[in-house]
Structure 1
Amino acid sequence: MSLIPRRSFLSRLSLASAAVAAGGFTFPVQAGRDQFVEVEIAPGRLRGVRHEGVNIFRGIPYGGKVSGNRRFRRPGPVEPWAGVRSSVFGAPAMQPPRQNEPAPAEDCLFLNIWTPANDNRKRPVMFYNHGGGFVIGSGASQSQDGSNLARNFDVVVVQTNHRLGLFGFLYLDEIAGEEYAGSGNMGMLDIVAGLKWVHDNIAQFGGDPENVMIFGESGGGAKTSCLYAMPSAASYFNKASIESGPGVRMTPKEVAAETTAMLLRTLNIAPADWRKLLDIPAADLLAVQNRLPFVPPFIDKDNPKKKPTPGAGGFGPVVDGKVLPGHPFDPTAPSISKNKPLLVGWNEDEYNFFIWQRKEVDLLKMDFEGLKKKLEPFHGADTAKMIATYRKTMPDASAPDIFVAISSIAMMGLGSIDIAEKKANQHGAPVYLYNFGYKSEKKILDTDYPMGTPHAMDISFKFNNEVPPKDPSQPSESFFGGSRPERFIASHHFAELWTTFARTGKPAAADVPEWPAYNLEDRPTMRIDTRCEVIDNRFAEELAMWKSIGKV
């Protein structure tokens, strides 16, 4: 399905996400002007911060110990605390250090809440799964701060930290016994524990436990795809959004077992002595993880009959037949979520993110002969047909433009459309397909090539964090979104569509056309921008080409 091998793409994605995450974009709380608000939950009393009309509770423990004898197992219980617990971010999962956050730690099961008020009003709950593949990230970065969604759209936003990498996805079921059942999906089960906590407690934070939307971008989209197919999560949410991270297939348990064997060989541990893993310091295990292939071999699908290609390495959700009974959207959409509405889509210029992150600026200088040479190693005899199709549908495009268009739809678009088609085929709850298309004028590094709509730019837009500065005389520029004030309109559209979907199960916004559910006749797609529009059968010729060469 991909222009480049899926493993290579996810390596780029994880490393790129690491580059963004390492920047440490977090919102400081101006404590001098803030008030405090307190709430009682079972383990003890919490103190939150009321800041500009939003109650913020950070670092709430939703699970207990996952280190020591709890490593690779279900969490221990949350330990009660005396006094009042203050609102500070909890430790992120084991990963390289993150600026403006506590040091990463094994015991990382904390969540953050943004709510307009603790008043039992039963607002819709938007439960976000952070990106970063399955190896980095947390619920505390600036672009996904939930304050503006809570303040401007009257919703409750929740985000978790959860186990990542080998601490969350090392498959031990076949060698460690029943006590470690589900070990290959502990990171996902942590998120389920967070959802259960929300179900049990969110009413005290002004949220409705019976109206919960799960959503996530990039790796968070893949996590959301898994949750959509997991029986243990089913009773805790009733709608979902998968953004620039279509998790159609996950790691087969046979491949996960090979990865576990590779890790044990690297550590010179016999399978029968696997318990030695419990005694190795977490920092040492992280160092070993970084020497192995970075991400799991997500399964490409060149044609419907092709079997998954085996290969070890990387850590992510495992299709173990129990926690994750099957691939999330292969061969069909999961029946367990047939009656749950779904949003799915991608950004128009996803690949520009990777050009920026990897400094691949030479790609922006290629001519059409260079484009052919770039594509041929991956597509062979199909390359000429691919280029001809895109030159026809994009007659004014340069060779780099076409390369970005092909790469972007191959990485995120084909899987998103696959999910939409399979969901529509269920004839259950509706699915809505989108493209995000607001164009940032910012240039990629030292070039004249604009960012456009790169991977990850949608995060700050859908969280409504592209807003005018409080002081109009001050310049305003976002990390990817640029400085044009038109972006504030696009951000409001995006956020209103998502929060309305959270509230009602149907995305809608003022000054936006009615968004019809996806179907296999008209194939409507909402293009989100300063002016939103519904486009029927978008990319029809391109998709016909992809299908003709067996990529979908």
Structure 2
Amino acid sequence: MGFTAEARSPVVATTNGKVRGYLDGEVSVFKGLRYGADTGGARRFMPPVKPEPWTEVKDALAYGPASMQTGKGEEGETLSEDCLFLNVWTPARASRKTGLADGAKRPVMFYIHGGAYNGGSGASPWYEGTKLAKRGDVVVVTVNHRLNAFGYLYLARLFNAPSVADSGNVGQLDLVLALQWVRDNIARFGGDPDCVMLFGQSGGGAKIATLMAMPSAKGLFHRAATMSGQQVTVGGPFNATRRAKAFLDKLGVKDLAALRALPAAEMLAGLKAVDPIAGSGGVYVGPVLDQRSLLRHPFFPDAAPQSLSIPMMVGNTHDETKGFIGWDAKAFPQTWDEVIARLPGQFAARIDIDPETVVAFYRQTYPNYSPADVFFAASTAGRSWKAAIIQDEERAKAGAPAFAYQVNWRSPIQGGIFGAPHTIDIGLVFGTLDAKGSIVGTGPDSVAMSNTMSDAFIAFARTGDPNGGALPKWEPYTLPRRQTMVFDTVSRLEDDPRGVEREFFNRVPFTQFGT
């Protein structure tokens, strides 16, 4: 068919074998690239391994399966234990001699999806990488890996079997293998393996913070951006064992062979066990201080020394918890009694403080706030923002400060009543303003805010410094100033925004949920 057909269907020879993508405008797209072998069957709970090489040209035209999870996944998405796939968007243009390896050494923006450690995949239309790759002349990567019990069920203290010694962190080890694939292959897609930025929102940010303390991840990435997702401490081995025991009891399984033989869909039922530590909700599974993959906590007692040389960006949104009520204005608290009743559920095990004291503080500090205003401000400050501050402060204490940001720009949904909720920064950074379910809108203000945030992230990926675009000078976070970039219609650098709330919540310790 000649070279014209080849250009329309770019082919790249990876270390595993040749793959064929497709052209979306000026961006070459490869979906469902296998970076690891099937993790089902006898390999359940074991560290990932590279796939067997292939000799034919494999099509990379559709997303691969996502990890088993209790949700449905993205529209049309398959769920499977065989889920170690990643996706690449690159502006590199194919040539007859070099394929996509054009020597341009583009920054690599490697996105890790949210969904806590339980759900999600790299196939969300919000993470579609075409616009970001084109705007920044960068290579964008999204990834699937094992989640929930398949990726984080800690069995090492329940079964004396070497094959489950790493079971509490295999989901993280999947990400390490994916980053090794990037190191070995991304130059063939026009990317620079020595300029890899991790960025991820919510659970994705937590996974990144955890990777920053994993010796096996050292050297595989060179910038890190956590977006409303932090991991100060991970689960301890005893609590993780209690949770695994509750999981097994829920399933009625007593031995490892039976657990491995259980169909994947049936194993998910164990997640409905009541968490024995929190005393409510489904059983938590997440990374574990197992003294193998993780020898220390990510940000306790300080920022992990192995990653202090990596430039970091730490972000949050002004109204995080408005993103957890299903875009239902009827869920806004109407009375002060309702706020007092609902706050403990938002704080969960993170902040143990009298809710009446919290409400009294907010009513005195912000006399014009409604009950709903106080509820969302207090729950945001006590639920997740506190962990972002800890990451910022520990970096600053170590002389390796982060670039802190806060999104104040309001979603146009329902007239702006949801403010700047959890997830708002995803569409703004990716430029996926018109994606299905988008909360950022497509008007001129949305486009302008997206361009500003995208350019800051692209600059950070390229140089480790987000400056150089339309923003005012962005200084790193230092003590005691606590410089923070506030993204808004008119963005600005502020010292210690919401400092009075920060100081109020400092009267009680913060515990990372899951620890």
Shared fold (TM-score greater than 0.5)?
yes
2:80 & 2:196 partners in 1: Cα distance? Answer: 28
1:247 is matched with 231
1:430 aligns with 2:401: yes
1:516 & 1:59 partners in 2: Cα distance? Answer: 39
* AA partner of residue 73 (structure 2): R
1:214 is matched with 198
Structure 1 SS opposite 2:218: helix
* AA partner of residue 367 (structure 1): T
Sort the Cα spacing of 1:532 and 1:449 in 2 relative to 1 into closer, same or farther, 3 A. Answer: closer
Matched pairs, number: 491
Gaps of 5+ in 1: 1-31, 299-308, 468-475
2:424 & 2:497 partners in 1: Cα distance? Answer: 22
Q: Is the 8 A contact 1:61 1:110 kept in 2?
A: yes
1:177 & 1:376 partners in 2: Cα distance? Answer: 40
User: Equivalent of 1:275, from 231, 236, 257?
Assistant: 257
Q: Pairwise mapping of residues 326-405 of structure 1 onto structure 2 (< 5 A)?
A: 326-356=296-326, 359=328, 361-364=330-333, 366-375=334-343, 382-405=354-377
Q: Is the 8 A contact 2:36 2:50 kept in 1?
A: yes
Q: How high is the TM-score relative to the length of structure 2?
A: 0.89
Q: Is the 8 A contact 2:392 2:401 kept in 1?
A: no
2:211 is matched with 227
* AA partner of residue 256 (structure 2): W
Q: What is the CA deviation profile of residues 21-62 of structure 1, one whole-angstrom value per residue up to 9, with x for unaligned ones?
A: xxxxxxxxxxx9x92111112222111111111111111110
1:40 is matched with 13
User: Equivalent of 1:58, from 10, 13, 31?
Assistant: 31
2:289 is matched with 319
Q: What is the CA deviation profile of residues 379-411 of structure 1, one whole-angstrom value per residue up to 9, with x for unaligned ones?
A: 898445433433344343222112111111222
Q: Is the 8 A contact 2:382 2:505 kept in 1?
A: no
* AA partner of residue 545 (structure 1): F
Structure 1 SS opposite 2:412: strand
1:261 & 1:506 partners in 2: Cα distance? Answer: 45
1:92 aligns with 2:78: no
1:239 & 1:388 partners in 2: Cα distance? Answer: 41
Q: Pairwise mapping of residues 66-215 of structure 1 onto structure 2 (< 5 A)?
A: 66-87=39-60, 88-95=62-69, 96-117=71-92, 118=100, 119-174=102-157, 175-215=159-199
User: Equivalent of 2:245, from 261, 286, 291?
Assistant: 261
1:500 is matched with 459
* AA partner of residue 494 (structure 2): I
Q: Is the 8 A contact 2:314 2:405 kept in 1?
A: yes
2:427 is matched with 460
Using the TM superposition, give the Cα deviation of residue 549 of structure 1 relative to its aligned residue in structure 2, in angstroms.
4.4
Q: Pairwise mapping of residues 279-298 of structure 1 onto structure 2 (< 5 A)?
A: 279-286=261-268, 288-293=269-274
Q: How high is the TM-score relative to the length of structure 1?
A: 0.83
Structure 2 SS opposite 1:512: coil
Structure 2 SS opposite 1:248: coil
2:413 & 2:291 partners in 1: Cα distance? Answer: 46
Sort the Cα spacing of 1:370 and 1:282 in 2 relative to 1 into closer, same or farther, 3 A. Answer: closer
Using the TM superposition, give the Cα deviation of residue 329 of structure 1 relative to its aligned residue in structure 2, in angstroms.
1.0
Using the TM superposition, give the Cα deviation of residue 511 of structure 1 relative to its aligned residue in structure 2, in angstroms.
2.1
Q: Is the 8 A contact 2:209 2:298 kept in 1?
A: yes
Using the TM superposition, give the Cα deviation of residue 263 of structure 1 relative to its aligned residue in structure 2, in angstroms.
2.7
* AA partner of residue 236 (structure 1): L
Structure 2 SS opposite 1:404: helix
Q: Is the 8 A contact 1:61 1:111 kept in 2?
A: yes
* AA partner of residue 153 (structure 1): G
Gaps of 5+ in 2: 93-99
Structure 2 SS opposite 1:215: strand
Structure 1 SS opposite 2:11: strand
Structure 2 SS opposite 1:452: coil
1:190 & 1:46 partners in 2: Cα distance? Answer: 21
User: Equivalent of 2:411, from 429, 437, 440?
Assistant: 440
* AA partner of residue 161 (structure 2): G
Q: What is the CA deviation profile of residues 74-120 of structure 1, one whole-angstrom value per residue up to 9, with x for unaligned ones?
A: 23431223422112211111124334344111111000001111223
Structure 2 SS opposite 1:157: strand
Q: Is the 8 A contact 1:292 1:314 kept in 2?
A: no
Using the TM superposition, give the Cα deviation of residue 478 of structure 1 relative to its aligned residue in structure 2, in angstroms.
6.2
1:256 & 1:477 partners in 2: Cα distance? Answer: 37
User: Equivalent of 1:485, from 434, 440, 444?
Assistant: 444
Answer with 207-216 or 505-514: which moved more.
505-514
1:486 & 1:536 partners in 2: Cα distance? Answer: 25
Using the TM superposition, give the Cα deviation of residue 291 of structure 1 relative to its aligned residue in structure 2, in angstroms.
2.4
Using the TM superposition, give the Cα deviation of residue 235 of structure 1 relative to its aligned residue in structure 2, in angstroms.
1.4
2:463 & 2:354 partners in 1: Cα distance? Answer: 44
1:512 & 1:275 partners in 2: Cα distance? Answer: 57
1:363 & 1:220 partners in 2: Cα distance? Answer: 27
